[in-house]
Structure 1
Amino acid sequence: MSVQLNHTIVAARDKETSAAFLATMLGVPVGPRFGPFIPVEVSNGVTLDFIDAGGEPIASQHYAFLVSEGEFDAIFGRIREVGVDYYADPHHDRPRQINHRDGGRGVYFDDPNGHNLEILTRPYGSGAA
């Protein structure tokens, strides 16, 4: 078997709200509760397992999702529809813009816990700068 990422745990103030936010933005379902976790599975079988942080500080993490051009349009449409701030860069220096790295499109936005989410249509290093 090759090495594959199976899941990661995502700290949240409210795991149900956070899982629902991500699932809604990506257009995927929220999975059934598994122990203390609320999973959101993406198409390559990886789950983001949301867990309540229990009042502990939440360190911001970065989660990037490779999507098709059509999925980008749909997700970006939902981001704008609900009024989520978005940026062309991970440091949020270029508001209300998308990037065109490697000949694709990308955008960054925050989840309710301050995690930096990204959607991109081309993997980094796969095309023109």
Structure 2
Amino acid sequence: MPAQLNHLIVHSSDRFASARFVTELLGAPEPTSFGPFAEVKLSNDVTVDYADDHLPEGLKIVPQHLAFLVSEDEFDEIFARIKDRELPYWGDPFHTEPQQINHRNKGRGVYVDDPDGHAIEFLTHPYIKDE
């Protein structure tokens, strides 16, 4: 039986600021406190747990990439929030397509950076793998 992803820990400089950044864009409920984490609950029972006190002294946050699969309607709502907040956004993860969305993989996608530089991707269709 394959394993299921249960949670992901993401380091941040301010756990609730980072968690709220994502929940506000998603239109999701306020993050909850769970031990030392600010927990973002997703619809598939996976949580993204933001931590701000587990970095060894002097260690910097290494940016990660988090991709959220959303419906077409949710994408429209998220993209409207990105534009309302006047956030920079890109059509690609390398920031070479500023202020654009992409139409790859039979869907749409957009990338924003969270306060710590983590790349947050919202996409409407999973990636198509070569067969």
Q: What TM-score, normalized to structure 1?
A: 0.92
Aligned counterparts of 2:6 and 2:28: Cα–Cα separation in 1: 17
Once the two structures are superposed, residues 84-106 of structure 1 have per-residue CA deviations (whole angstroms, 9 ceiling, x without a partner) of 11000000000000000122100
SS at match of 2:105: helix
Q: Deviations over 1:7-54 (max 9, x none)?
A: 000100011111111110111113421110010011111110001055
**Paired residue for 1:98?**
101
**Would the aligned equivalents of 2:16 and 2:31 in 1 still touch at CA under 8 Å?**
no
C-alpha distance in 2 between matches for 1:60 and 1:89: 16
Distance 2:5 2:49 in 1: 13
Q: 2-side partners of 1:23 and 1:119: how far apart?
A: 12
Which residue number corresponds to residue 48 of structure 1?
Answer: 48
In the alignment of these two chains, the number of paired residues is 127
CA contact under 8 A between 1:7 and 1:48: conserved in structure 2? yes
Q: Distance in 2 between matches of 1:41 and 1:62?
A: 17
2:35 is matched with 35
Give the alignment's TM-score, normalised by structure 2.
0.91
The ranges of structure 1 where at least 4 consecutive aligned residues each deviate by more than 4 angstroms after the TM superposition are: none
1:71 alignment partner in structure 2: 74
